Amino acid sequence: MKIVVIGSVAAGTSVAAKARRNTEEAEIFVYDQGKDISYSVCGIPYHIGEEVEELSALTPRNAAWFKKRYNVSVFTEHKVTRIDPANKQLEVTDLVSGEKKQDNYDGLVFATGASPFTPPPFNQKEYDNVFQVRTIQDARDIGAYSSKQPKKALIIGAGFIGLEMTEQLIHKGLEVTIVQLEDQVMPPMDADMTFHIEEHMRAKGVNLILGDTVKIIEGKTSVERVITTNGITIEPDIVILSAGVRPNTELAKEMGVKLGDSRAIAVNNKMQTNLPDVYAVGDVAESFSVITGKPIYRPLGSTANKMGRIAGDVITGGDLEHRGVLGTGIFRIFELHVGQTGLTEKEAKKEGYDVEVLYNIKPDHAEYLGGKELTIKALADKKTGRILGAQVIGKAGVDKRIDVIATAITFKAKAEDLFHLDLAYAPPFATTKDPILYTGMVLDNALKRNPLITPADLINRLDWNEKVQIIDTRSKKDFEKSHVKGAIHIPLAELRERNVELDKNVTTVTYCNKGVTGNAAQNVLINYGFKKVYNLSGGNKNFQNHIKMIEKNYSK
């Protein structure tokens, strides 16, 4: 049996390694048009920022290592230029010598990855100070250019790579401007969560230009000046393009491989394409959602390794199957850690779910030992109680919480199940009622007895002139500092006596600073016979942030 893999980064090398573990009988060949193999794309920003000193740390293996360790023949700077699926033959060009050779296969795996998208007008001409962040060669090129000591950087795109590069370039002392097409950073997340990221970045001196694009470039060999669609002029010394990626499917399309709606290669749960003995893995292939079962495209290194292992097993007679993904991701932007898993609120509603939305603001561990505030936005399906997704932002403990929720969603946990998890507790690591347990408890209560209302929903109701009585249960000092417009100030301690001042038949909203006291007030009013009582999720703190977000959008 002869296995040919096209591509040798995360997915391709995983195919080869797993196939060899399963059998010593197969011949395994890997072709890659690049110079480097099995490297960490995600580590490149940290090398550029000098957190990772040696570039070799991101490229720990080479072709000789794979030959010695796995008896796998890896050919770098070799490009597969044509494939004949009927006869299982392919043509390979040596990019150094220009020589062409014919090869054959019994099993063929596309691990051709994805390429950075070059947005207009940067795609019209090459400039010596414009770079992308995708390959080890990109890292070398940026490192070489850094010797010119650029002072001002322009980053196009505010996704994972754009924000990680922002952090690293700021650390190196550069002034950074980001231009982002959408009106928020990290478009896959909900805007009411990314607002926290934007505030943090501006506080660190980042110039954020949202809802705008570069329209004009001035300069012959270098970008000297750009003008945006909204007329903003920027004069960068270096430009980083991080406007997303596109799957490398050209060769696959030519041989008749079917693409999915995302324009990545469509595969089944065994990583098989529509053609016999042809597989696709990693950033060139579609995955599917654990929650909806629908195809999705989530190009992540973790998924690529998983897909590669599955294909390597299946192609050698194994029974591994891909179980889908949640799109779980995490990144750091200065001291802030940001994690996401499952569906966002906008995605869940688009899929037709009626969702309960919780904003949970709690310390990651005991405050008396320096616990830092976490903001968790979690969603549950009102019909089934199933957890659908979460976004977590904070300065510590984000990875732990997002991974617990991702695990829970994978096993179809309901809101009530989160509360019953037996999680590790000691004051240096968690609170007695961990933010995860609290998330489950409050969501479960919201589904069964204590409904929540989001700031957006409350504002919409007020805009439509719905009659709502809003009760601020905090101290007079807190109320005078800031409060929801139109709120009645009744501290919790006075509510049992003063509830007679309120109308039991009118929709009522209670709130405090972050949600706990508001919930206690909600229970008091429910027990006194009030018909419809909501607790403002995340309290006044979350509401005021929402107002600032709205004002930011209006000011554009």
Specify whether 494 is located in the same domain as 537. yes
| Position 253 in a domain | yes
For residues 512 and 490, give the distance between their C-alpha atoms in angstroms, rounded to a whole number.
Answer: 11
Given 198, 222, 244, which residue is the final one in a domain?
244
Residue from 21, 22, 23, 42 carrying the catalytic annotation: 42
CA distances from 307 to 280, 285, 324, 326, 409 (A): 8, 9, 10, 14, 20
Selection from 501, 482, 494, 496 nearest residue 524 by Cα: 496
Average pLDDT, the chain: 96
Specify whether 281 is located in the same domain as 193. no
313 DSSP assignment? H
Helix H, strand E, coil C: the string for 489-537 is: ECCHHHHHHHHHHCCCCCEEEEECCCCHHHHHHHHHHHHCCCCCEEEEC
Given 419, 447, 475, which residue is the final one in a domain?
447
Q: Which residues contact 352 (CB under 8 A, 6 or more apart)?
A: none
Output the DSSP codes for 67-80: HHHH--EEEETEEE
Specify whether 45 is located in the same domain as 139. no
Pairing of strands 89-94, 225-228: unpaired
Q: What is the pLDDT of residue 431?
A: 96
> What average pLDDT does the segment 240-260 reach?
97
| Position 94 in a domain | yes
Q: How confident is the model at residue 553 (pLDDT cuts 50, 70, 90)?
A: confident
Specify whether 88 is located in the same domain as 53. yes
Supply the angle between the helices 539-554 and 455-463 in degrees, to the nearest 10: 60
Q: Give the pLDDT confidence of 486-503 residue by residue, as tens digits.
A: 999 999 999 999 999 999
285 DSSP assignment? B
| Position 478 in a domain | yes
Specify whether 102 is located in the same domain as 122. no
* Share above pLDDT 70 across residues of the chain, in percent, rounded to a whole number: 99
For residues 177 and 163, give the distance between their C-alpha atoms in angstroms, rounded to a whole number.
Answer: 11
Q: Is the pLDDT of residue 350 over 80?
A: yes
Q: What is the pLDDT of residue 555?
A: 58
Specify whether 473 is located in the same domain as 440. no
Specify whether 457 is located in the same domain as 551. yes
Structure tokens at 403: 């991974």
Q: What is the pLDDT of residue 320?
A: 98
Specify whether 81 is located in the same domain as 103. yes
> What average pLDDT does the segment 310-337 reach?
97
Specify whether 135 is located in the same domain as 238. yes
Given 397, 421, 447, which residue is the final one in a domain?
447
Q: Is the pLDDT of residue 556 over 90?
A: no
For residues 498 and 274, give the distance between their C-alpha atoms in angstroms, rounded to a whole number.
Answer: 69
| Position 322 in a domain | no
Q: How confident is the model at residue 551 (pLDDT cuts 50, 70, 90)?
A: confident
Total count of domains within the chain: 4
CATH of the domain at 367: 3.50.50.60
Q: How confident is the model at residue 554 (pLDDT cuts 50, 70, 90)?
A: low
Neighbours of 521 (CB within 10 A): 27
Token pair 């609290």 is found at: 438
Q: How confident is the model at residue 23 (pLDDT cuts 50, 70, 90)?
A: very high
Q: What is the pLDDT of residue 552?
A: 77
| Position 323 in a domain | no
Specify whether 131 is located in the same domain as 231. yes
Q: Which residues contact 200 (CB under 8 A, 6 or more apart)?
A: 333, 334, 335, 336
42 catalytic? Reply is yes
Specify whether 84 is located in the same domain as 141. no
CATH of the domain at 548: 3.40.250.10
Q: Give the pLDDT confidence of 499-516 residue by residue, as tens digits.
A: 999 999 999 999 999 999
| Position 321 in a domain | no
Are 453 and 437 a contacting pair, CB within 8 Å? no
Q: What is the pLDDT of residue 343?
A: 98
* Share above pLDDT 90 across residues of the chain, in percent, rounded to a whole number: 97
CA distances from 529 to 451, 493, 512 (A): 15, 18, 21
Specify whether 121 is located in the same domain as 240. yes
Question: The domain containing residue 426 runs over which residues?
Answer: 329-447
